[in-house]
Amino acid sequence: MDNAEYFERFGIVLNNRVVRTPVAIASMAGWVDAEYVAARKAHVGAAFIGGYSIDEPATRASREMVSQGRKEFLTDDPIAEIARQVTLMEETDVVCGINLRGGKPESYQAVAREFGTRVIYEIDAHCRQEPMVHAGCGEYLLHNPEALVETVKVLKQENVTVSVKIRAGVHRDDRILAADLWHAGADILHVDLMDFGYQKIRQIRNSCPLFLIANNSIVTFERMKEMLSHGADMVSLARKSDDRTLAGLDAAITRYADEHGWYNSPKQLCRGGDLRALTFCCMPIKNCPLISTLERAGLTREEYVAIKMDAVKGTKLEEGKQTCFGSLSWCCKDSSPCMFRDLTLRQAGVSNQEYMRLKRELASTLMERLFRCGNDPC
């Protein structure tokens, strides 16, 4: 398949590159390098190699961790080693991210000046090993979020794509952290969910429009679907990133996308869906979760109706006079039976897959409006 087909199926673009599948490999120091990814490249769309310690405080911490029996990527010249790894990654079709650990923002900036837009730069705010935290890296940044925000801002001065890897539940409120990182200019939030479930992903999705990668024990399609249907754009695996598991997830999500047209379509709002589920909501005329959601988002019912109708103007979602509210824009998800919706789709020559893709476009418009001008709706 070519990029156009992958884009039609998933619609994912990272670092100005089309991503072939929403399955990624997460960094794991001492393990995940270009060779590791190349052996699994057939079933992943992105990979974050590393982590790499990029300044003296982080390197000292890595050496101490090795002395304690942990694996690390130790090198006297991290820039040269990263350059070698990035070149090898460019021989694959996998979008490359580099997971970095440094004690000050300028350390990250120096790496970005070396590699420019060739890679995604992932700030490691995840490592909880004591030497790394004492060096001002990893979880230190979650306990000192002003330092993390400053690092994002400095990196974005180089006009590069920035990801932040966090561990859920360390910061006092992951929703606030996500919004702050978005305002600072981050592009991707990579979340190790720990013992939190999909509810954490939903909270974060409702707090910011960042590209969300869900991580930790996502080794079955059922678990993957839970994450995607509550706001994740991609899932990642580290320790469990064996070829068989990756292949299974890739095949399953590909089948689902081809059958339904929207690979990470949300659950409907009344069934616990995230903000994107507004695309499936009907007119705001009864007391239901839609009303409280609009109130938290700072939208009146009239504004919501106007935004939705304007977004579908001239599209096939504008049609549907025989539907409950006179337009497909108010119709529910394809998984919910509805004879009026299905009749309208047949008469218009619109497949279920195309219907769901149109609903995805409507959801994108709604999300853009909700978060316009830095608003934090929920």
pLDDT at 243: 95
What average pLDDT does range 67-82 have in this prediction?
Answer: 96
Residue 210 has phi, psi (to 5 degrees) of -60, 155
pLDDT at 377: 54
What average pLDDT does range 287-295 have in this prediction?
Answer: 92
Residues 165 and 301 in one domain: no
Q: Is the pLDDT of residue 310 over 80?
A: yes
Rounded distance, CA 101 to CA 104, Å? 9
- The residue from 224, 240, 260 where one domain ends is 260
Q: Is the pLDDT of residue 215 over 90?
A: yes
Residues 247 and 164 in one domain: yes
Tokens found for residue 129? 């090993």
Residue 17 has phi, psi (to 5 degrees) of -130, 140
Place of tokens 């919501």: 304
The CATH number given to whatever domain includes residue 169 is 3.20.20.70
Residues 255 and 298 in one domain: no
Give the pairing of strands 46-53 and 23-25. parallel
Residues 66 and 176 in one domain: yes
Residues 213 and 250 in one domain: yes
Rounded distance, CA 23 to CA 166, Å? 18
Residues 229 and 274 in one domain: no
Q: Convert the pLDDT of each residue in 127-158 to its tens digit.
A: 999 999 999 999 999 999 999 999 999 999 99
Confidence of residue 298 (pLDDT cuts 50, 70, 90): confident
Tokens found for residue 276? 């994107």
The residue range of the domain holding 59 is: 3-260
Q: Convert the pLDDT of each residue in 9-64 to its tens digit.
A: 999 999 999 999 999 999 999 999 999 999 999 999 999 999 999 999 999 999 99
Confidence of residue 267 (pLDDT cuts 50, 70, 90): very high
3-state secondary structure of 69: coil
3-state secondary structure of 329: helix
pLDDT at 1: 67
- The residue from 226, 260, 294 where one domain ends is 260
What burial letters (b/e) apply to 106-120, b meaning 16+ CB within 10 Å? ebbbebbeebeeebb
Q: Is the pLDDT of residue 244 over 50?
A: yes
- The residue from 260, 281, 309 where one domain ends is 260
pTM for the predicted model, two decimal places: 0.96
pLDDT at 372: 81
Report percent pLDDT > 70 for the chain: 98
Q: Convert the pLDDT of each residue in 162-209 to its tens digit.
A: 999 999 999 999 999 999 999 999 999 999 999 999 999 999 999 999
Residues 174 and 289 in one domain: no
Sign of the CA dihedral with 273 first, then 275, 281, and 287 last: positive
pLDDT at 264: 98
Residues 143 and 11 in one domain: yes
pLDDT at 161: 98
pLDDT at 66: 97
What average pLDDT does range 353-367 have in this prediction?
Answer: 96
Residues 300 and 230 in one domain: no
How many CB atoms sit inside 10 A of residue 287's CB?
Answer: 8
Contacts of 5 (CB under 8 A, 6+ apart): none
Rounded distance, CA 49 to CA 94, Å? 11
Rounded distance, CA 23 to CA 174, Å? 23
Confidence of residue 376 (pLDDT cuts 50, 70, 90): low
Contacts of 158 (CB under 8 A, 6+ apart): 109, 112, 113, 116
pLDDT at 374: 45
Return mean pLDDT, the chain. 95
Rounded distance, CA 353 to CA 265, Å? 12
Q: Is the pLDDT of residue 373 over 80?
A: no
Residues 273 and 295 in one domain: yes
Are 69 and 92 in contact by the 8 Å Cβ rule? The answer is no
Residues 128 and 27 in one domain: yes
pLDDT at 2: 80
